[in-house]
Amino acid sequence: MCPGADHEPNGQANGANANGEHPGFTAVETRQNPHPSASRNPYGHNVGVTDFLSNVSRFQIIESTLREGEQFANAFFDTEKKIEIAKALDEFGVDYIELTSPCASEQSRKDCEAICKLGLKAKILTHIRCHMDDARIAVETGVDGVDVVIGTSSYLREHSHGKDMTYIKNTAIEVIEFVKSKGIEIRFSSEDSFRSDLVDLLSIYSAVDKVGVNRVGIADTVGCASPRQVYELVRVLRGVVGCDIETHFHNDTGCAIANAYCALEAGATHVDTSVLGIGERNGITPLGGLMARMMVADPAYVKSKYKLEKLKDIEDLVAEAVEVNIPFNNYITGFCAFTHKAGIHAKAILNNPSTYEIINPADFGMSRYVHFASRLTGWNAIKSRAQQLNITMTDDQYKECTAKIKALADIRPIAVDDADSIIRAYYRNLKLGENKPLLDLTADEHAQFVAKEKELAAQGAL
């Protein structure tokens, strides 16, 4: 079993307790200055000038948490949990939900049938080997479509199934024609596409396209492909087949999200994802990560299709099920994803969040935080916090108060409560004309604080 992020994983972002709180997290929420309604991002998707083959504004998601995700080392989904995840994904708005092969086990078959009976809006697919025995079982489960796969690289032909390309092509056509005769969708995918011979790939894709396959799939099974390689292969394939193109990218070298995006730019139509990217080894394109990338490309399309505010709930659900913590730097939902710390960042964010945010956290039901209790803070962040505490001072006074907070933060880590106490005590001293200590400090801390104040005063900061 893969170890979790700590000894007691709880499905929350790293450092969070069961209430979703982060002890020691020295930042405060700010909701002021929402993003402008119309993005002027110069790197955003522009339908007017984009390549006409691009599907960035009309992609579909094949959500594979209940297939690829079940191959994650920590995963064990009982029937109840599978149904709960399927319903959550359907409510989020994914186009397809892919399930483990009903041939994998008797329980897998029963689970497949149970989910097919839920009446979800998403189409239900199951993933099988390119073999007639599997196809006969799959079509009896009630699925809307069957995803067929077989290895085409020399590695897999020699060391996995041992079949040549002639066998692969003939069997694929047989399975496709059988599944189509049942009136349901069929996808044919090569496995290890990027280590397969290009002539072999195009030959078999052309053959299955001619017999009416709904989608062909390319799979970066070992995560070796770069975005440029993906773009080139999909563009070539787009010129060979007229059917849809599905893509499946493993994340071994960290390119899964970029590869998925480049595939859509090149003309692919469907992207496989899993919640938190779970899957074999270190998984595939994460649903949340893809949403982040596509929100930058075409926010209107993404928001029109998907209930983005449901993303965190889905990730919490899956994280708890597979006993891992959500990473602190997770796309969108990590607890630091919208936290700003440096003084120049905080000032700009408070004026206009678009200065340092390409995604509006509110679109995902998330909050923005300004981390002001540190040596990196700036007086604008302290001014904003003081105003939240209903304390109004002059700019020079905010600057002096900020210098005192920075002096303490140079001595030891400080919490939000520490910074708040300094702000309140500084303001009280101003009003009463006193010079009482701003914070309860040990004798050693007090000595260091006084020395630091003198140092700052000599520099003109106090």
Spatial distance between the Cα atoms of 433 and 337, rounded to a whole number of angstroms: 42
Query: Judging by DSSP bridges, how do beta strands 123-129 and 96-99 pair with one another?
Result: parallel
**Token code pair at residue 325:** 């913590």
**Token code pair at residue 333:** 């939902």
Spatial distance between the Cα atoms of 187 and 128, rounded to a whole number of angstroms: 10
How is the beta sheet containing 339-340 ordered, strand by strand? 28-30, 368-370, 339-340
SS3 assignment, position 256:
helix
Q: Are 22 and 335 in contact (CB under 8 A)?
A: yes
Spatial distance between the Cα atoms of 56 and 305, rounded to a whole number of angstroms: 13
**Token code pair at residue 51:** 């390549």
* Cα angle: 228, vertex 273, 212; to 5 degrees: 80
Q: Are 83 and 327 in contact (CB under 8 A)?
A: no
Q: Are 172 and 210 in contact (CB under 8 A)?
A: no
Q: Which 3-state string (H, E, C) describes 135-168?
A: HHHHCCCCCCEEEEEEECCHHHHHHCCCCCHHHH
| Sign of the torsion formed by the C-alpha atoms of 203, 56, 70 and 330 | positive
Catalytic residue among 248, 345, 371, 446: 345
- Which helix (DSSP H) or strand (DSSP E) does residue 185 occupy? strand 185-191
Write the CA distances from 315 to 95, 214, 242, 249, 321, integer angstroms: 18, 30, 35, 20, 10
Strand-pair partners of 189? 149, 217
| Catalytic residue check, 345 | yes
Count the helices and strands in the chain (H runs, E runs).
16, 11
Spatial distance between the Cα atoms of 214 and 269, rounded to a whole number of angstroms: 11
Phi-psi map region of 246: left, alpha, beta (phi>0 left; psi -120 to 50 alpha): beta
Spatial distance between the Cα atoms of 84 and 66, rounded to a whole number of angstroms: 11
Residues noted as catalytic: 345
